[in-house]
Amino acid sequence: MNNNSINDDICCPPFEVSLWDDKMLEWQNKPFIKDKVFTFMFMPIGFGNVMKRLNEKVNAAGANIPDWLCLSDHTSSWNMDLYLAVDKEIPNANNVNLSGKYYSKVYEGPFKDTGKWCKDFEKEVDGKGMKVMKWFMWYTTCPKCAKKYGKNYVVILGQVS
């Protein structure tokens, strides 16, 4: 196997922990496109298909996905809203903007640790004298790339007050 075939099997860029761990972000009308993923007990069904659909719209518009940022909002055990960062308005997409102060913290490990991560995140935010108003998860790589990189980084971003 040559290096090109190894790189061809990686679809997600390496994640830079230092840019997102324990950071305060201030967004003013940060552009995203929004879509939905059906979930069964919070487990996404067809996530890859939704990501392909969003990526096709971004490519057709000649746009970019800054930082490959894709936020997940688990609205219920049956639905997850996705917010894919873009650098311009995308035709035929649900264009939305997010504004406010956000705190981000990076976690690494299996998804079964999500409950522990959320408790830790809430403790971190409380310790900084803030409250979480809205939660987002950023699954930084697909499962295949996480396995290849040997790390499964997940960022929790909370809109804080």
> CA 80 to CA 43: how far, in whole Å?
9
Number of domains in the chain: 1
CATH number, position 57: 3.20.80.10
pLDDT value, residue 159: 98
Q: Mean pLDDT in runs of 10 for the chain (161 residues)?
A: 46 93 98 96 90 96 96 95 98 98 97 95 97 96 91 97 96
Domain of residue 42 covers 21-160
Q: 0.85 cut: is pTM over it?
A: yes
* 121-159 burial: b if 16+ Cβ within 10 Å, else e: beebbeeeebebeebbbbbbbeeebbebeeebbbbbbbb
Structural domain contains residue 6: no
Q: pLDDT tens digits for 141-150? A: 988 899 999 9
Structural domain contains residue 64: yes
Which of helix, strand or coil describes residue 22? coil
Structural domain contains residue 10: no
pLDDT value, residue 6: 45
Q: Which of 100, 9, 20, 6 is nearest to 67 (CA)?
A: 20
Q: pLDDT tens digits for 102-119? A: 999 999 999 899 999 999
> CA 125 to CA 51: how far, in whole Å?
30
